[in-house]
Amino acid sequence: MLRDIITKEIQDTIMSPKFVFTFLLCTILILISVYTGINNYQAEQKEYSAAVALNRKNLDSQASYQTLAGIGVKINREPQVLSTVVSGVQEAVGRQATVNIAFDPNLVDSKYSSNPIFAVFGALDLTFIVKIVLSLFAILFTYDAIVGEKERGTLKLALSNKVPRDRLILGKAIGGFVSLLIPLVIPMVLGLIILMIYPNISLSGQDWGRLALIFLMFLLYLSVFFTLGLFVSSRTCRSSTSFLLLLFIWVTFVTIIPKAAVMAAGQIKPIPSVHEITAQKDAYLQEIQKEATEEQTEYFKEKERPKDPAAIALWNEEIKLWLEEFQQRMTSKLDERNAAIEREYQTKVSGQQKLAVNLSRVSPASALMFSTMSLAKTGIGEYERFLSSIRTYKPIFTKWINEKMMRSLNLSGGQQPTPELDDMPQHEFTAETFGDSFSRILPDIVLMAVLIILFFVGAFVSFSKYDVR
């Protein structure tokens, strides 16, 4: 009997115009999103390769270590292959950071900053389609699941037979959910085939694992709205009431809670603006420069150049040693202070972000966004880890360039040696492991599972007492 109910539910949905419309729309949207995702990724890859090559060329063409110290090293963020399905925040955050001895590095040159029109509507990726379009369809498929049968008179007719209510709602839930998955699964499989056959796109085993988890999150998210639809449908007497109520809940979940959570977090845990932080860093830089000038003047006053040509070589050597130590000390002070300012700022930012994330997690839409971004390595966490790796690299580079600069100092004038980059420390960044990403999304999985259980049990209990008249 359960099989008959499931089969009927699938047939009834598939033969309805709303299914045909949903299927066509989802197929078009998903295929367009994968296609544009691939194109964006390839364009990003090209830009990345070009930027890396240009940086290398720039480094090679520097005349001295002094100019290299000023210009610094440009570090580019490598595009993620899974951005083809979940673009995340990667288009909004910077792609490149300059590491030099003076300034604290920061990621700049985001895609949105280079062309703000992209920021107006955001990206059409799979997460957006599932979050907005398919969740709406989940509501469209379920708002009349129970109450619609009552209005049609088919509920009475079905229950005049030896049909247990629990089996009827279970059959309707399974059949309805399978029907809802068809517009997602078929186009998504097509999209994955495109991903597989497209040149220059290669997915590792871990990427496939991540994709599977992204798909699991999609399923969980849609299940939340599906069971919610069943629940509301089994609590209302008119399908129009059910639809309006569901629409209200959908708007609250998808748009209001996430925005309100961010605003509330901003009010509860305010943070200083980026300009204030930059001003603090600049002020300290000026302070250090002043201190350095004074110390240098003082030192050279005491350490006058000898007249004896035999002593000049020794004097030069002493000066070089002192300058190297002095430069290292000053830059270390600057780096330490900047790091302290940054640490304090990041602690506040992180506190605010955590609060915003945790508040907004009440909404399954936020849980979906955070989890899929983490899995695709296009989220805020990955961006912060990358930025942090650059800031860790900064003192390493500074130490190296100071050493090189001072050792190559020619106090008697003449040609400076051209930089040798073979032993230059390289920036290293290891992406978050699969296990860490999974741990990060675990709260989202639990939250959605709890909502699904709550809504389904609610629907189950409500239907067992539902007035079929």
Partner 1 sequence: MLEAKELTKTYEDGVMALDHLNLKVEAGEIFCMFGANGAGKTTAINLFLNFIPPTEGTVFLEGIDMIQEPLKAKDFVSFVSENVTLYGSFSAFQNIHYFTKLAGKRDLKRDDYANVMKRVGLQEDAFNMRTKNFSKGMRQKLGIAIAIIKDAPNIILDEPTSGLDPRSGQEFLVLLSELRDLGKSIFMSTHDIFRAKFVADRVGFMQKGKLVMLKTKEELAGEDLNQLYIEYMHEHPDI
* Residue placing its CB nearer to partner 1 in the complex, 51 or 170: 170
Contacts 24+ apart (CB under 8 A), 308-313: 312/412
For residue 233, the minimal CB distance to partner 1 (Å) is 16
Phi-psi region of 200 (alpha: psi -120 to 50; beta: other; left: phi over 0): left
* Residue placing its CB nearer to partner 1 in the complex, 46 or 156: 156
- Kindly tell me the burial class for residue 136, based on how many C-beta atoms sit within 10 Å of its own C-beta (0-12, 13-18, 19 or more): middle
Site string for partner 1, 7-36 (x = CB under 8 A): -x--xx--xx--------------------
For residue 223, the minimal CB distance to partner 1 (Å) is 24
**Do 232 and 463 form a contact (C-beta atoms < 8 A)?**
no
Q: How many chain residues bind partner 1 (CB under 8 A)?
A: 23
For residue 159, the minimal CB distance to partner 1 (Å) is 7
For residue 14, the minimal CB distance to partner 1 (Å) is 9
**Do 175 and 5 form a contact (C-beta atoms < 8 A)?**
yes
Q: How far apart, in whole angstroms, are the C-alpha atoms of residue 469 and residue 467?
A: 6
For residue 248, the minimal CB distance to partner 1 (Å) is 27
Q: Per CB under 8 A, which of residues 129..188 are in contact with partner 1?
A: 152-154, 156-164
Pairing mode, strands 73-76 and 96-99: antiparallel
* Residue placing its CB nearer to partner 1 in the complex, 9 or 91: 9
Stretch that binds partner 1, among 6-14, 232-240, 442-450, 453-461 (CB under 8 A): 6-14
* Residue placing its CB nearer to partner 1 in the complex, 4 or 325: 4
In the beta sheet, which residues pair with residue 74? 98
* Residue placing its CB nearer to partner 1 in the complex, 160 or 415: 160
- For residue 82, the 8-state DSSP code is G
* Residue placing its CB nearer to partner 1 in the complex, 156 or 343: 156
Q: Under the criterion CB under 8 A, does residue 238 sit at the interface with partner 1?
A: no
Q: How far apart, in whole angstroms, are the C-alpha atoms of residue 29 and residue 448?
A: 25
**Do 338 and 281 form a contact (C-beta atoms < 8 A)?**
yes
For residue 5, the minimal CB distance to partner 1 (Å) is 8
Amino acid at the residue 80:
Q
Stretch that binds partner 1, among 4-12, 211-219, 302-310, 333-341 (CB under 8 A): 4-12
Q: Per CB under 8 A, which of residues 202..231 are in contact with partner 1?
A: none
Q: Per CB under 8 A, which of residues 73..132 are in contact with partner 1?
A: none
* Residue placing its CB nearer to partner 1 in the complex, 7 or 358: 7
- For residue 63, the 8-state DSSP code is S
- Kindly tell me the burial class for residue 389, based on how many C-beta atoms sit within 10 Å of its own C-beta (0-12, 13-18, 19 or more): middle
**Do 330 and 292 form a contact (C-beta atoms < 8 A)?**
yes
Given the structure tokens 């390595």, which residue do they identify? 377
For residue 175, the minimal CB distance to partner 1 (Å) is 12
Site string for partner 1, 305-344 (x = CB under 8 A): ----------------------------------------
Token reading at 43: 């364009």
Alpha carbon 92 to its chain centroid, in Å, reads: 10
CA nearest to 107, candidates 75, 155, 149, 130: 75
For residue 169, the minimal CB distance to partner 1 (Å) is 14
Token reading at 392: 């860790």
For residue 144, the minimal CB distance to partner 1 (Å) is 12
Interacting residue ranges for partner 1, rule: CB under 8 A: 1, 4-5, 8, 11-12, 15-16, 152-154, 156-164, 467-469
